[in-house]
């Protein structure tokens, strides 16, 4: 397999349901899970965003079920989870990766613009967790929420995403306590600046990349692979006593307090 750090079969026998699993960071996580033995159900608003990931997973012998669903639509998500559980018999891991983002100053942002991102990121995360609860209780499964570091200090032009991801972190902590009792672990990952992602393309014009690189303590942008590795660790049995944590994977970037812009 392409990642020699973890054993190929580290997720053998597991079924993962990944929102936003067709592209970007969570696409990488879905692929890495499949490479390490998991069966995958991936969702996105548009089925065409899932087709190439499904084909890639199947090309190396993995199993992948692609289903269109909008995380803002509870009934649609509930139905997608039911279809995935019917197909694979269970769900062990839920990854909340579906997210919305654009740059906009607070004094230009409409109430609906703010609400749209909160609905996708925060309410969408709750919807998926809530709809998957019974399956996760049965499997003694776990949840991995993809967050950000934007809200640790303050990131101009990102009030909507910062508020939304702060809410995601609250969901991670609350559910880890409430659902830990049911045998469900709930953790998060807060990626820093990760190159070759839609989020970075939207937030960071290419000419600024070199300047920003100098502001990252480890001297490079993150790679999707860095998030894949963190996700494999957190969802593996190696992390069986880790619950309620949002693991920052940013090369130390946020600690310097430097805005990306
Ligand atoms: C200001 C905007 C806007 C923009 C949308 N809106 N784009 N406001 N600037 N660029 C406003 C609209 O005007 C509207 O408000 C409201 O948001 C809803 O817009 P719609 O287009 O109707 O919504 P919808 O199609 O449902 O979704 C819009 C979207 C979505 C949220 C922008 O298309 C999207 O997120 N796409 C990007 C997906 C993405 O990049 N995901 C990766 C996220 S990266 P009004 O008032 O006009 O009705 C990430 C990482 C963060 O999250 C951390 C990085 C370090």
- 25-67 pLDDT, tens digit per residue, is 999 999 999 999 999 999 999 999 999 999 999 999 999 999 9
Residue 209 in tokens: 């990349």
Residue 45 in tokens: 């608003």
Which atom of ligand 1 approaches the CA of 155 most closely?
Answer: 55
C-alpha of residue 39 to centroid of ligand 1, in Å? 31
Q: Does domain 15-251 have CATH number 3.40.50.720?
A: yes
Which residues are registered as beta bridge partners of 145? 96, 188
Nearest CA to ligand 1 atom 39: 100
Of 171, 241, 177, 231, the residue nearest 14 (C-alpha): 231
Residue listed under structure tokens 């990131």:
155
Pocket of ligand 1 (CB under 6 A): 99-102, 104, 110, 112-113, 116-117, 148, 150, 161, 193, 198-199, 202-203
Residue listed under structure tokens 């062990």:
92
Distance CA 146, CA 168 (A): 8
Of 2, 6, 4, 18, the residue nearest 230 (C-alpha): 6
Nearest CA to ligand 1 atom 5: 113
Distance CA 252, CA 229 (A): 17
- 190-206 pLDDT, tens digit per residue, is 999 999 888 787 777 77
Which atom of ligand 1 approaches the CA of 110 most closely?
Answer: 46
Task: Kindly state the DSSP code that residue 202 receives in the 8-state scheme.
Answer: H
Q: What are the residues whose beta carbons fall under 8 Å from the beta carbon of 242, sequence distance 6 or more?
A: 185, 187, 234
Beta 64-68 vs 93-96: how paired, if at all? unpaired
Q: What percent of the chain shows pLDDT beyond 70?
A: 97
pLDDT band for position 211 (50/70/90)?
Answer: confident
pLDDT mean over 101-130 = 98
CB of 88 closer than 8 Å to CB of 12: no
Which of 116, 216, 254 for a ligand 1 pocket mutation test, highest count of atoms within 8 Å of Cβ?
116
Measured over the CA atoms of residue 144, residue 180, residue 135 and residue 239, the dihedral's sign is: positive
In degrees, to the nearest 5, what angle opens at C-alpha 254 toward C-alphas 253 and 259?
A: 95
pLDDT band for position 258 (50/70/90)?
Answer: low
């Amino acid at each position: 397999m392409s990642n020699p750090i973890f054993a190929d079969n580290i997720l053998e026998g597991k079924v993962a349901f990944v929102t936003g699993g067709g592209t970007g960071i969570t696409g990488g996580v879905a692929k890495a899970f499949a490479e390490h033995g998991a069966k995958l159900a991936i969702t996105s608003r548009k089925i065409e965003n899932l087709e190439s990931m499904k084909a890639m997973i199947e090309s190396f012998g993995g199993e992948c079920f692609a289903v269109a669903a909008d995380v803002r639509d509870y009934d649609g998500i509930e139905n997608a989870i039911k279809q995935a559980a019917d197909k694979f018999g269970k769900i062990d891991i839920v990854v909340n990766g579906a997210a919305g983002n654009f740059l906009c100053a607070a004094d230009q942002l409409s109430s609906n613009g703010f609400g749209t991102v909160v609905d996708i990121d925060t309410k969408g995360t709750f919807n998926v967790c809530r709809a998957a609860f019974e399956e996760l209780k049965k499997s003694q499964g776990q949840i991995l929420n993809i967050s950000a570091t934007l809200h640790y200090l303050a990131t101009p032009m990102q009030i909507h995403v910062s508020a939304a991801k702060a809410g995601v972190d609250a969901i991670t902590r609350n559910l880890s306590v409430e659902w830990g009792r049911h045998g469900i672990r709930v953790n998060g990952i807060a990626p820093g600046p990760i190159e070759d992602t839609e989020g970075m393309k939207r937030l960071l014009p290419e000419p600024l990349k070199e300047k920003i690189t100098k502001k990252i303590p480890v001297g490079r942008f993150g790679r999707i692979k860095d998030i894949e590795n963190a996700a494999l660790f957190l969802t593996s049995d190696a992390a069986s006593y880790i619950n309620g944590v949002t693991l920052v994977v940013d090369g130390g970037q946020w600690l310097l307090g430097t805005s990306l812009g």
